[in-house]
Structure 1
Amino acid sequence: MTTHKIAIAALLASGLTFNTVAQAQEQAQVSGILGGGLSFGGETLVDDIRFTDGSSDEVKTGEGFWLDFGFRADFEEWALKSTIGYKSGGVFASNGDATFSRMPLTIIGSINNNGHLFGAGFTYELNPELDLDLPGLQGTAEFENALGLVLEYENNYDVWAWGVRYTHIDYDYDPTGETFDGNNIGFFFNWYF
């Protein structure tokens, strides 16, 4: 008899849980996201890359552009955003290039104050890689996947939004045991559909 009571209690509890989830899903307005941005900062990976005109440049861990897509679930006073994308930065020249690329998976929870979203979350950057294809300097360095903290402000205008994002992240290079600071600030635009 006790087993039956436990089974009935578990069934009722699971029904309440499913009902709560169903109500939350009904209240959320889910939109797709297509976005991109530009970020600045981070530690120098490769410096003093010389060009034929005498100028030079460097590759930093936090710099570059990104394109991403995903979804956002908007509730009455908060939102949950999840995206996956491609981020790359570096030096591009006619005789070669040096790039640092990765695939960020980002999840951000935000408080919504009349279209002004203040959020925090995490990014997990997959396959960070430095690729060198320069005269006299060629090769690839694969870094460990990296977990970072994200703080974000986003300003929504109907289906368009712009914002600023701070990312706190480090990249580990196992062969040498070095860790590179990838902290950066970025500016972005999103289109919601």
Structure 2
Amino acid sequence: MKEQSFEDEVMRILEETPSARKALLENHENLLRSGDGSLKALEETKNFTTQSLASVAYQISSLAGSVLSLLDAQTNQLRHMESSINLIGQTVEMHKEKVSRREIGVFTAARRVPRCHKILPPLLAAGSKPRPPYSRRPISYQQLDGIGHGIKVSHTHTHTHTHTHTHTHTHTVV
């Protein structure tokens, strides 16, 4: 009986083998097709991921540009405010100085400047001539020719040449 059951089982296996083989081949083909599909799906997923990352990078770049523009605008506003504050500070300092000068002016006393009579030239003494008015005349250097260099020359020596400074007698011609 055992033998019969083994034979039945071998027969049953041999009958089922072609159908199992056919099912195995179909599964193998389906697996290959699904592998091709999964590779295509993987490539599509990569493409979508790349596109999404590029979109996110563009949005981040756009946002960063907007933030930089905002910071530049705020910097300009701060500079304008600083300029206005400095102008107000200068105005306040000028006002304080004016007030201080007024307060200093309160402590000063009014000073009267004595009025003097007009200064007149002295009166001429009796019998003196009035001075003639000034008139411009050219200088005549001929009047100075007799003066010379201020060195007196003795006329007793008749040397006509000039001696050096080592000699005690110096003669100049006038």
Structure with greater proportional strand content: 1
Question: Is the radius of gyration larger for structure 1 or structure 2?
Answer: 2
Higher relative contact order (CA 8 A, sep 6+): 1
**Fold in common (TM above 0.5):** no
Normalised by the size of structure 2, how large is the TM-score?
Answer: 0.23
Structure with greater proportional helix content: 2
